[in-house]
Copies of this chain bind each other. A is one copy, B any other.
Amino acid sequence: MFSDFKLMDERPVYVQLKDYVQDMIVKGHLLEHQKLPSTRELSKLLAVSRNTVLNAYAELELDGIIYAVKGKGHFIGKVTTLETSSIEIDWKQRLNETTLLADEIDLIRQDIHWKKGMISFTSIAPEEKLFDVENFKRAFLTRMSIEGDIVLNYGYAKGYKPLIDHLLSYMEMKGVDISNKDILITNGFTEGLDILLSSLAKKSGRVLCENPTHHAALKLFSLHGLDVHGIDMQDDGIDMEQVEKTLADKDFDFAYLIPSYHNPTGIVTSSEKRSAIFQLFSKYQIPIIEDGFNEELRYSSSHLAPLIAFSGIGNNIVYIGSFSKILFPGLRVGWILADRELIDSLESMKRARTIHTSTLDQAVLYQYLQDGYFEKYLKKARFVYKKKYELARQACIQYIPYSRITGDGGLHLFIELKEDVDARLLLEKCYDKGVVFYPGDVFYTNGRGSNTFRLGFSRLADDDIVRGIQIIGDTLKTL
Protein backbone atom coordinates (compact mmCIF):
# COMPACT_ATOMS: atom_id res chain seq x y z
CA MET A 1 0.00 0.00 0.00
CA PHE A 2 1.24 3.49 -0.98
CA SER A 3 4.52 1.92 -2.05
CA ASP A 4 3.42 2.14 -5.69
CA PHE A 5 2.45 5.82 -5.39
CA LYS A 6 4.09 7.78 -8.18
CA LEU A 7 3.89 11.45 -9.11
CA MET A 8 2.15 11.28 -12.47
CA ASP A 9 2.17 14.88 -13.66
CA GLU A 10 2.64 18.51 -12.73
CA ARG A 11 -0.52 18.72 -10.63
CA PRO A 12 -0.06 19.66 -6.96
CA VAL A 13 1.24 16.64 -5.03
CA TYR A 14 -1.59 16.69 -2.50
CA VAL A 15 -4.13 16.44 -5.32
CA GLN A 16 -2.34 13.44 -6.80
CA LEU A 17 -2.12 11.81 -3.37
CA LYS A 18 -5.83 12.41 -2.86
CA ASP A 19 -6.61 10.85 -6.25
CA TYR A 20 -4.35 7.91 -5.42
CA VAL A 21 -6.28 7.14 -2.22
CA GLN A 22 -9.63 7.40 -4.04
CA ASP A 23 -8.30 5.11 -6.75
CA MET A 24 -7.17 2.56 -4.14
CA ILE A 25 -10.66 2.58 -2.64
CA VAL A 26 -12.33 2.21 -6.04
CA LYS A 27 -9.98 -0.67 -6.86
CA GLY A 28 -10.84 -2.26 -3.50
CA HIS A 29 -7.33 -2.08 -2.05
CA LEU A 30 -8.52 0.15 0.79
CA LEU A 31 -11.47 -1.19 2.76
CA GLU A 32 -14.19 0.47 4.81
CA HIS A 33 -12.95 1.66 8.26
CA GLN A 34 -9.37 0.67 7.36
CA LYS A 35 -6.84 2.88 9.18
CA LEU A 36 -4.65 5.13 7.05
CA PRO A 37 -0.98 5.74 7.87
CA SER A 38 -0.43 8.75 10.11
CA THR A 39 0.43 11.93 8.26
CA ARG A 40 3.96 11.70 9.69
CA GLU A 41 4.49 8.09 8.56
CA LEU A 42 3.09 8.74 5.12
CA SER A 43 5.11 11.89 4.53
CA LYS A 44 8.25 9.90 5.39
CA LEU A 45 7.20 6.90 3.29
CA LEU A 46 6.40 8.99 0.21
CA ALA A 47 9.13 11.54 0.82
CA VAL A 48 6.68 14.41 0.53
CA SER A 49 6.14 17.24 2.99
CA ARG A 50 3.85 16.56 5.91
CA ASN A 51 1.69 19.49 4.82
CA THR A 52 1.06 17.74 1.54
CA VAL A 53 -0.33 14.72 3.37
CA LEU A 54 -2.32 16.93 5.73
CA ASN A 55 -3.84 18.72 2.74
CA ALA A 56 -4.70 15.48 0.98
CA TYR A 57 -6.33 14.03 4.10
CA ALA A 58 -8.25 17.26 4.73
CA GLU A 59 -9.62 17.18 1.15
CA LEU A 60 -10.56 13.52 1.46
CA GLU A 61 -12.31 14.21 4.74
CA LEU A 62 -14.17 17.15 3.20
CA ASP A 63 -15.39 14.85 0.45
CA GLY A 64 -16.52 12.32 3.05
CA ILE A 65 -14.15 9.69 1.69
CA ILE A 66 -12.21 9.33 4.95
CA TYR A 67 -13.02 10.29 8.55
CA ALA A 68 -10.85 11.26 11.50
CA VAL A 69 -11.09 9.89 15.03
CA LYS A 70 -9.58 12.20 17.62
CA GLY A 71 -6.32 10.73 18.89
CA LYS A 72 -6.65 7.66 16.69
CA GLY A 73 -6.01 8.98 13.21
CA HIS A 74 -7.74 8.72 9.83
CA PHE A 75 -9.93 5.89 8.54
CA ILE A 76 -11.58 4.99 5.24
CA GLY A 77 -15.25 6.02 5.31
CA LYS A 78 -18.30 4.24 3.95
CA VAL A 79 -17.33 2.39 0.79
CA THR A 80 -20.26 1.62 -1.43
CA THR A 81 -19.08 -1.45 -3.25
CA LEU A 82 -21.35 -1.44 -6.27
CA GLU A 83 -22.85 -4.67 -7.45
CA THR A 84 -22.41 -3.62 -11.02
CA SER A 85 -24.21 -5.63 -13.68
CA SER A 86 -23.49 -4.96 -17.30
CA ILE A 87 -26.30 -4.52 -19.79
CA GLU A 88 -25.48 -4.53 -23.49
CA ILE A 89 -27.48 -2.12 -25.61
CA ASP A 90 -27.17 -2.16 -29.39
CA TRP A 91 -26.86 1.58 -29.84
CA LYS A 92 -26.38 1.51 -33.61
CA GLN A 93 -29.79 -0.06 -33.84
CA ARG A 94 -31.25 2.74 -31.69
CA LEU A 95 -29.87 5.59 -33.78
CA ASN A 96 -32.02 7.35 -36.35
CA GLU A 97 -31.47 7.63 -40.11
CA THR A 98 -30.04 11.13 -39.89
CA THR A 99 -27.27 10.06 -37.54
CA LEU A 100 -26.32 7.09 -39.67
CA LEU A 101 -26.28 9.43 -42.67
CA ALA A 102 -24.11 11.95 -40.79
CA ASP A 103 -21.71 9.09 -40.14
CA GLU A 104 -21.79 8.02 -43.76
CA ILE A 105 -21.23 11.42 -45.40
CA ASP A 106 -18.63 12.55 -42.87
CA LEU A 107 -15.65 13.58 -45.01
CA ILE A 108 -13.19 13.13 -42.16
CA ARG A 109 -14.21 9.47 -41.91
CA GLN A 110 -13.50 8.91 -45.61
CA ASP A 111 -10.32 10.94 -45.47
CA ILE A 112 -7.33 9.56 -47.33
CA HIS A 113 -4.83 8.48 -44.72
CA TRP A 114 -2.22 11.17 -44.55
CA LYS A 115 1.26 9.91 -43.63
CA LYS A 116 4.10 11.91 -42.13
CA GLY A 117 6.35 13.48 -44.76
CA MET A 118 3.59 13.60 -47.35
CA ILE A 119 2.73 16.82 -49.19
CA SER A 120 -0.93 17.40 -48.34
CA PHE A 121 -3.06 19.87 -50.33
CA THR A 122 -6.18 18.78 -48.44
CA SER A 123 -6.29 21.45 -45.73
CA ILE A 124 -7.59 24.98 -46.26
CA ALA A 125 -7.14 25.89 -42.58
CA PRO A 126 -4.95 28.91 -41.87
CA GLU A 127 -1.21 28.55 -41.30
CA GLU A 128 -0.63 28.38 -37.54
CA LYS A 129 2.78 30.03 -37.74
CA LEU A 130 1.01 33.17 -38.97
CA PHE A 131 -1.16 33.39 -35.87
CA ASP A 132 -0.87 36.62 -33.99
CA VAL A 133 -0.62 34.89 -30.61
CA GLU A 134 0.98 37.83 -28.77
CA ASN A 135 -1.74 40.35 -29.63
CA PHE A 136 -4.33 37.69 -28.92
CA LYS A 137 -2.91 37.34 -25.41
CA ARG A 138 -2.99 41.13 -25.08
CA ALA A 139 -6.63 41.24 -26.14
CA PHE A 140 -7.43 38.49 -23.62
CA LEU A 141 -5.71 40.24 -20.72
CA THR A 142 -7.26 43.60 -21.61
CA ARG A 143 -10.76 42.14 -21.72
CA MET A 144 -10.28 40.11 -18.54
CA SER A 145 -9.09 43.15 -16.65
CA ILE A 146 -12.11 45.13 -17.84
CA GLU A 147 -14.78 42.54 -16.98
CA GLY A 148 -13.25 39.13 -16.31
CA ASP A 149 -16.04 38.04 -13.99
CA ILE A 150 -18.71 38.93 -16.54
CA VAL A 151 -16.82 37.20 -19.35
CA LEU A 152 -16.76 34.00 -17.28
CA ASN A 153 -20.44 33.97 -16.29
CA TYR A 154 -23.55 33.31 -18.36
CA GLY A 155 -24.09 35.54 -21.36
CA TYR A 156 -27.05 36.11 -23.68
CA ALA A 157 -28.21 33.66 -26.34
CA LYS A 158 -28.12 36.47 -28.90
CA GLY A 159 -24.45 37.05 -28.21
CA TYR A 160 -21.97 39.36 -26.50
CA LYS A 161 -23.35 42.88 -26.99
CA PRO A 162 -20.06 44.71 -27.71
CA LEU A 163 -19.20 42.14 -30.40
CA ILE A 164 -22.68 42.36 -31.95
CA ASP A 165 -22.42 46.15 -32.14
CA HIS A 166 -18.94 45.93 -33.62
CA LEU A 167 -20.08 43.48 -36.29
CA LEU A 168 -23.15 45.56 -37.10
CA SER A 169 -21.02 48.60 -37.94
CA TYR A 170 -18.51 46.31 -39.68
CA MET A 171 -21.32 45.18 -41.99
CA GLU A 172 -22.62 48.74 -42.32
CA MET A 173 -19.18 49.64 -43.71
CA LYS A 174 -19.83 47.11 -46.45
CA GLY A 175 -22.90 49.08 -47.44
CA VAL A 176 -25.55 47.10 -45.55
CA ASP A 177 -28.63 48.93 -44.27
CA ILE A 178 -28.83 47.58 -40.71
CA SER A 179 -31.80 49.67 -39.59
CA ASN A 180 -34.23 46.71 -39.67
CA LYS A 181 -31.65 43.98 -39.14
CA ASP A 182 -29.96 42.30 -36.21
CA ILE A 183 -27.20 39.78 -35.47
CA LEU A 184 -27.19 36.40 -33.75
CA ILE A 185 -23.78 35.07 -32.68
CA THR A 186 -23.28 31.37 -33.43
CA ASN A 187 -20.61 28.71 -32.94
CA GLY A 188 -19.07 29.47 -36.31
CA PHE A 189 -20.69 29.44 -39.76
CA THR A 190 -21.76 25.81 -39.44
CA GLU A 191 -24.01 26.26 -36.42
CA GLY A 192 -25.42 29.39 -38.03
CA LEU A 193 -26.52 27.45 -41.10
CA ASP A 194 -27.75 24.50 -39.02
CA ILE A 195 -29.93 26.69 -36.78
CA LEU A 196 -31.34 28.41 -39.84
CA LEU A 197 -32.14 25.11 -41.58
CA SER A 198 -33.67 23.77 -38.36
CA SER A 199 -35.95 26.80 -38.17
CA LEU A 200 -37.22 27.18 -41.74
CA ALA A 201 -40.45 25.44 -42.67
CA LYS A 202 -40.25 22.99 -45.58
CA LYS A 203 -42.53 24.14 -48.37
CA SER A 204 -41.08 22.80 -51.62
CA GLY A 205 -38.17 21.29 -49.69
CA ARG A 206 -35.89 22.47 -52.50
CA VAL A 207 -32.72 24.56 -52.21
CA LEU A 208 -30.79 26.11 -55.10
CA CYS A 209 -27.02 26.54 -54.86
CA GLU A 210 -23.83 26.85 -56.87
CA ASN A 211 -22.36 23.62 -58.22
CA PRO A 212 -19.86 22.67 -56.85
CA THR A 213 -20.29 24.21 -53.40
CA HIS A 214 -19.16 24.14 -49.74
CA HIS A 215 -19.22 20.53 -48.54
CA ALA A 216 -20.31 21.31 -44.94
CA ALA A 217 -23.38 23.05 -46.39
CA LEU A 218 -24.18 20.12 -48.70
CA LYS A 219 -23.89 17.81 -45.70
CA LEU A 220 -26.34 19.88 -43.65
CA PHE A 221 -28.75 20.10 -46.58
CA SER A 222 -28.97 16.32 -46.81
CA LEU A 223 -29.16 15.91 -43.03
CA HIS A 224 -32.15 18.25 -43.15
CA GLY A 225 -33.65 16.20 -45.99
CA LEU A 226 -33.51 19.03 -48.52
CA ASP A 227 -33.56 18.48 -52.27
CA VAL A 228 -30.46 20.26 -53.63
CA HIS A 229 -30.33 21.79 -57.13
CA GLY A 230 -26.83 22.83 -58.20
CA ILE A 231 -26.17 25.42 -60.94
CA ASP A 232 -22.90 25.51 -62.88
CA MET A 233 -20.29 28.14 -62.13
CA GLN A 234 -18.96 30.54 -64.77
CA ASP A 235 -15.78 32.54 -64.20
CA ASP A 236 -17.78 35.53 -62.90
CA GLY A 237 -20.17 33.50 -60.78
CA ILE A 238 -23.25 31.29 -61.09
CA ASP A 239 -24.73 30.70 -64.57
CA MET A 240 -27.68 33.10 -64.64
CA GLU A 241 -29.36 31.53 -67.66
CA GLN A 242 -29.59 28.20 -65.87
CA VAL A 243 -30.83 29.97 -62.72
CA GLU A 244 -33.54 31.77 -64.67
CA LYS A 245 -34.69 28.52 -66.31
CA THR A 246 -34.68 26.67 -62.99
CA LEU A 247 -36.60 29.35 -61.10
CA ALA A 248 -39.19 29.61 -63.87
CA ASP A 249 -39.60 25.84 -63.74
CA LYS A 250 -39.58 25.01 -60.02
CA ASP A 251 -40.34 26.62 -56.67
CA PHE A 252 -37.56 26.85 -54.06
CA ASP A 253 -37.56 27.45 -50.30
CA PHE A 254 -34.32 29.41 -50.55
CA ALA A 255 -30.98 29.71 -52.34
CA TYR A 256 -27.54 29.24 -50.80
CA LEU A 257 -24.77 31.28 -52.45
CA ILE A 258 -21.10 32.07 -51.76
CA PRO A 259 -20.56 35.18 -53.90
CA SER A 260 -17.50 36.64 -52.27
CA TYR A 261 -14.99 33.86 -52.35
CA HIS A 262 -16.58 30.66 -53.54
CA ASN A 263 -15.60 27.35 -51.97
CA PRO A 264 -14.25 25.22 -53.63
CA THR A 265 -13.76 27.08 -56.95
CA GLY A 266 -12.44 30.30 -55.41
CA ILE A 267 -14.51 32.28 -57.93
CA VAL A 268 -15.52 35.82 -56.93
CA THR A 269 -18.94 36.81 -58.25
CA SER A 270 -18.73 40.07 -60.25
CA SER A 271 -20.52 43.20 -59.12
CA GLU A 272 -22.81 43.12 -62.16
CA LYS A 273 -23.77 39.52 -61.52
CA ARG A 274 -24.44 40.23 -57.86
CA SER A 275 -26.93 42.86 -58.86
CA ALA A 276 -28.51 40.50 -61.42
CA ILE A 277 -28.71 37.69 -58.83
CA PHE A 278 -30.40 39.95 -56.34
CA GLN A 279 -32.94 41.22 -58.86
CA LEU A 280 -33.83 37.76 -60.15
CA PHE A 281 -34.32 36.07 -56.77
CA SER A 282 -36.25 39.09 -55.54
CA LYS A 283 -38.56 38.77 -58.52
CA TYR A 284 -39.30 35.18 -57.50
CA GLN A 285 -39.55 36.13 -53.81
CA ILE A 286 -36.91 33.52 -52.95
CA PRO A 287 -34.73 34.35 -49.93
CA ILE A 288 -30.97 33.95 -50.28
CA ILE A 289 -28.64 32.61 -47.62
CA GLU A 290 -25.40 34.44 -48.38
CA ASP A 291 -22.20 32.78 -47.15
CA GLY A 292 -19.64 35.54 -46.54
CA PHE A 293 -16.86 32.94 -46.58
CA ASN A 294 -13.38 34.53 -46.67
CA GLU A 295 -14.59 37.80 -48.13
CA GLU A 296 -11.57 39.31 -46.38
CA LEU A 297 -9.13 37.15 -48.33
CA ARG A 298 -9.83 38.46 -51.80
CA TYR A 299 -6.62 39.61 -53.48
CA SER A 300 -8.33 41.29 -56.39
CA SER A 301 -8.46 44.89 -55.28
CA SER A 302 -11.91 45.96 -56.42
CA HIS A 303 -14.38 46.70 -53.64
CA LEU A 304 -17.42 44.39 -53.88
CA ALA A 305 -20.61 44.79 -51.87
CA PRO A 306 -22.18 41.62 -50.38
CA LEU A 307 -25.60 40.60 -51.71
CA ILE A 308 -27.29 41.74 -48.51
CA ALA A 309 -26.16 45.30 -49.29
CA PHE A 310 -28.44 45.22 -52.35
CA SER A 311 -31.50 44.51 -50.23
CA GLY A 312 -31.54 47.99 -48.64
CA ILE A 313 -34.26 47.96 -46.01
CA GLY A 314 -35.56 44.71 -47.47
CA ASN A 315 -35.20 41.45 -45.56
CA ASN A 316 -34.87 38.69 -48.14
CA ILE A 317 -31.13 38.10 -47.66
CA VAL A 318 -29.74 36.20 -44.68
CA TYR A 319 -25.99 36.75 -44.34
CA ILE A 320 -23.80 34.28 -42.44
CA GLY A 321 -20.31 35.49 -41.61
CA SER A 322 -17.25 34.20 -39.79
CA PHE A 323 -13.59 35.12 -39.40
CA SER A 324 -12.66 31.52 -38.60
CA LYS A 325 -10.98 30.61 -41.85
CA ILE A 326 -8.54 33.51 -41.74
CA LEU A 327 -8.31 34.41 -38.07
CA PHE A 328 -8.68 31.78 -35.32
CA PRO A 329 -10.71 28.68 -36.26
CA GLY A 330 -10.13 27.40 -32.71
CA LEU A 331 -12.52 30.13 -31.58
CA ARG A 332 -15.96 29.06 -32.74
CA VAL A 333 -17.53 32.41 -33.52
CA GLY A 334 -19.72 33.23 -36.49
CA TRP A 335 -22.79 35.38 -36.95
CA ILE A 336 -26.13 35.57 -38.76
CA LEU A 337 -27.11 39.03 -40.00
CA ALA A 338 -30.79 39.17 -40.99
CA ASP A 339 -34.25 40.60 -40.49
CA ARG A 340 -34.66 41.55 -36.82
CA GLU A 341 -37.81 39.43 -36.32
CA LEU A 342 -36.15 36.40 -37.86
CA ILE A 343 -33.10 36.81 -35.59
CA ASP A 344 -35.48 37.02 -32.67
CA SER A 345 -36.89 33.57 -33.43
CA LEU A 346 -33.50 32.06 -34.23
CA GLU A 347 -32.36 33.31 -30.82
CA SER A 348 -34.91 31.06 -29.08
CA MET A 349 -33.61 28.07 -31.04
CA LYS A 350 -30.04 29.00 -30.17
CA ARG A 351 -30.96 29.25 -26.48
CA ALA A 352 -32.76 25.91 -26.52
CA ARG A 353 -29.83 24.16 -28.21
CA THR A 354 -26.61 25.61 -26.75
CA ILE A 355 -27.69 28.44 -24.37
CA HIS A 356 -25.12 30.74 -25.97
CA THR A 357 -21.73 30.84 -27.68
CA SER A 358 -18.67 30.98 -25.43
CA THR A 359 -18.55 34.45 -23.90
CA LEU A 360 -14.79 34.10 -23.56
CA ASP A 361 -14.37 33.53 -27.31
CA GLN A 362 -16.68 36.42 -28.15
CA ALA A 363 -15.15 38.85 -25.67
CA VAL A 364 -11.54 38.22 -26.68
CA LEU A 365 -12.41 38.32 -30.38
CA TYR A 366 -14.21 41.62 -29.77
CA GLN A 367 -11.19 43.12 -28.01
CA TYR A 368 -8.91 41.85 -30.77
CA LEU A 369 -11.04 43.53 -33.45
CA GLN A 370 -11.57 46.64 -31.37
CA ASP A 371 -7.85 47.16 -30.83
CA GLY A 372 -7.28 47.10 -34.58
CA TYR A 373 -5.16 43.94 -34.47
CA PHE A 374 -7.37 42.32 -37.09
CA GLU A 375 -6.48 44.83 -39.83
CA LYS A 376 -2.79 44.41 -39.03
CA TYR A 377 -3.06 40.61 -39.07
CA LEU A 378 -5.11 40.63 -42.27
CA LYS A 379 -2.45 42.72 -44.00
CA LYS A 380 0.23 40.20 -43.05
CA ALA A 381 -1.93 37.18 -43.88
CA ARG A 382 -2.95 38.62 -47.28
CA PHE A 383 0.67 39.23 -48.13
CA VAL A 384 1.81 35.71 -47.20
CA TYR A 385 -1.14 33.85 -48.73
CA LYS A 386 -1.07 35.94 -51.91
CA LYS A 387 2.54 34.87 -52.50
CA LYS A 388 1.66 31.21 -51.95
CA TYR A 389 -1.39 31.68 -54.17
CA GLU A 390 0.62 33.10 -57.07
CA LEU A 391 3.28 30.45 -56.62
CA ALA A 392 0.68 27.65 -56.67
CA ARG A 393 -1.18 29.11 -59.64
CA GLN A 394 2.06 29.53 -61.58
CA ALA A 395 3.08 25.96 -60.82
CA CYS A 396 -0.31 24.62 -61.95
CA ILE A 397 -0.09 26.51 -65.23
CA GLN A 398 3.43 25.17 -65.74
CA TYR A 399 2.95 21.52 -64.77
CA ILE A 400 -0.73 20.54 -64.92
CA PRO A 401 -2.54 19.99 -68.23
CA TYR A 402 -5.77 21.46 -66.86
CA SER A 403 -8.81 22.38 -68.88
CA ARG A 404 -9.82 25.05 -66.35
CA ILE A 405 -8.28 26.54 -63.25
CA THR A 406 -10.18 28.84 -60.91
CA GLY A 407 -9.39 30.78 -57.71
CA ASP A 408 -9.18 34.56 -57.37
CA GLY A 409 -7.52 34.40 -53.98
CA GLY A 410 -7.93 32.73 -50.65
CA LEU A 411 -6.25 29.56 -49.55
CA HIS A 412 -6.88 27.14 -52.41
CA LEU A 413 -7.23 26.59 -56.17
CA PHE A 414 -9.72 24.41 -58.02
CA ILE A 415 -8.60 22.39 -61.04
CA GLU A 416 -10.76 20.97 -63.79
CA LEU A 417 -9.12 18.30 -65.95
CA LYS A 418 -10.21 16.89 -69.28
CA GLU A 419 -13.65 15.23 -69.12
CA ASP A 420 -12.27 11.69 -69.20
CA VAL A 421 -9.67 12.02 -66.43
CA ASP A 422 -10.58 10.42 -63.11
CA ALA A 423 -9.31 12.64 -60.25
CA ARG A 424 -9.69 9.83 -57.72
CA LEU A 425 -7.50 7.56 -59.81
CA LEU A 426 -5.02 10.44 -60.02
CA LEU A 427 -5.20 10.79 -56.24
CA GLU A 428 -4.40 7.09 -55.82
CA LYS A 429 -1.32 7.34 -57.99
CA CYS A 430 -0.19 10.59 -56.33
CA TYR A 431 -0.72 9.05 -52.91
CA ASP A 432 1.92 6.46 -53.73
CA LYS A 433 4.26 9.32 -54.57
CA GLY A 434 3.48 11.10 -51.28
CA VAL A 435 1.06 13.77 -52.50
CA VAL A 436 -2.62 14.10 -51.48
CA PHE A 437 -5.46 16.54 -52.31
CA TYR A 438 -9.25 16.67 -52.25
CA PRO A 439 -11.10 15.00 -55.12
CA GLY A 440 -13.61 17.57 -56.40
CA ASP A 441 -16.64 15.29 -56.67
CA VAL A 442 -17.37 15.66 -52.93
CA PHE A 443 -18.31 19.29 -53.61
CA TYR A 444 -20.80 18.50 -56.36
CA THR A 445 -24.53 18.16 -55.90
CA ASN A 446 -25.07 15.56 -58.58
CA GLY A 447 -22.15 13.15 -58.53
CA ARG A 448 -20.33 15.19 -61.18
CA GLY A 449 -16.83 16.67 -60.89
CA SER A 450 -15.01 13.34 -61.20
CA ASN A 451 -12.43 15.22 -63.28
CA THR A 452 -11.85 17.98 -60.69
CA PHE A 453 -9.83 18.47 -57.50
CA ARG A 454 -9.04 21.14 -54.92
CA LEU A 455 -5.54 22.25 -53.92
CA GLY A 456 -5.25 23.88 -50.49
CA PHE A 457 -1.86 25.57 -50.15
CA SER A 458 -2.24 27.66 -46.97
CA ARG A 459 -0.14 25.39 -44.76
CA LEU A 460 2.52 24.24 -47.23
CA ALA A 461 6.08 25.49 -47.62
CA ASP A 462 6.81 27.15 -50.98
CA ASP A 463 9.02 24.36 -52.33
CA ASP A 464 6.49 21.71 -51.24
CA ILE A 465 3.81 23.58 -53.19
CA VAL A 466 5.88 23.52 -56.35
CA ARG A 467 7.21 19.99 -55.88
CA GLY A 468 3.75 18.64 -55.02
CA ILE A 469 2.11 20.24 -58.05
CA GLN A 470 4.93 19.02 -60.30
CA ILE A 471 4.38 15.46 -59.02
CA ILE A 472 0.64 15.76 -59.71
CA GLY A 473 1.41 17.02 -63.21
CA ASP A 474 3.90 14.25 -63.96
CA THR A 475 1.50 11.62 -62.61
CA LEU A 476 -1.27 13.02 -64.79
CA LYS A 477 0.78 12.49 -67.91
CA THR A 478 1.21 8.80 -67.03
CA LEU A 479 -2.56 8.22 -66.85
Contact = CB atoms under 8 A, between A and B. Distances in A.
B23 A305 contact: no
Nearest to A300: B64
Given A87-B316, A312-B86, A141 B152 contact: no
Nearest to A140: B140
A10 to B, nearest CB: 7
A341 B190 contact: no
Contacts of A164: none
A127 B12 CA distance: 26
A279 interface: yes
A10, A89, A339, most chain B CB atoms within 10 A: A89
Interface stretch (A33-41, A195-203, A433-441): A195-203
Nearest to A169: B19
Interface residues of A, number: 133
Nearest to A222: B352
Given A78-B303, A137-B144, A108 B351 contact: yes
A271 B81 CA distance: 10
A309 interface: yes
A97 B348 CA distance: 13
Contacts of A64: 300-303
B11 A351 contact: no
B375 A201 contact: no
Given A153-B131, A328-B152, A82 B10 contact: no
A16 to B, nearest CB: 9
A65 interface: yes
Given A314-B87, A358-B330, A125 B153 contact: yes
Chain B CB within 10 Å, residue with most, of A19, A137, A303, A315: A303
A289 to B, nearest CB: 12
Given A80-B304, A151-B330, A154-B329, A91 B345 contact: yes
Nearest to A338: B91
A355 interface: yes
Contacts of A119: none
A269 to B, nearest CB: 13
Contact of A314 (B85, B129, B271): B85
Contact of A305 (B15, B82, B188): B82
Interface string A7-46: 0011110010011001100100000000000000000000
B309 A84 contact: yes
- Counting chain B CB atoms within 10 Å of each CB, the highest count among A19, A103, A332 belongs to A332
Contacts of A372: 11-12, 15
B82 A310 contact: yes
Nearest to A199: B99
A96 B372 CA distance: 41
Interface stretch (A171-179, A404-412, A461-469): A171-179
Nearest to A102: B348
A154 B372 CA distance: 23
Interface in A108-124: 108-109
Interface in A339-379: 339, 341-342, 344-346, 348-349, 351-361, 364, 370-372, 375, 379
A-B interface, 6 closest residue pairs, ranked by CB to CB distance from nearest? A86-B314, A84-B312, A64-B301, A330-B359, A128-B149, A133-B148
Interface of A: 9-12, 15, 18-19, 22-23, 26, 59, 62-65, 77-78, 80, 82-89, 91-92, 94-100, 102-103, 106, 108-109, 125-126, 128-129, 131, 133, 136-137, 140-141, 144, 148-155, 157, 169, 172-173, 175, 177, 187-188, 190-191, 194, 198-203, 216, 219-220, 223, 253, 271, 275, 278-279, 282, 285, 287, 300-305, 309-316, 328-332, 339, 341-342, 344-346, 348-349, 351-361, 364, 370-372, 375, 379, 382
20 contacts: A22-B173, A77-B302, A80-B305, A82-B275, A82-B309, A85-B278, A85-B282, A85-B314, A89-B285, A96-B200, A96-B201, A99-B345, A99-B349, A102-B352, A133-B148, A133-B152, A137-B141, A154-B330, A330-B360, A332-B356
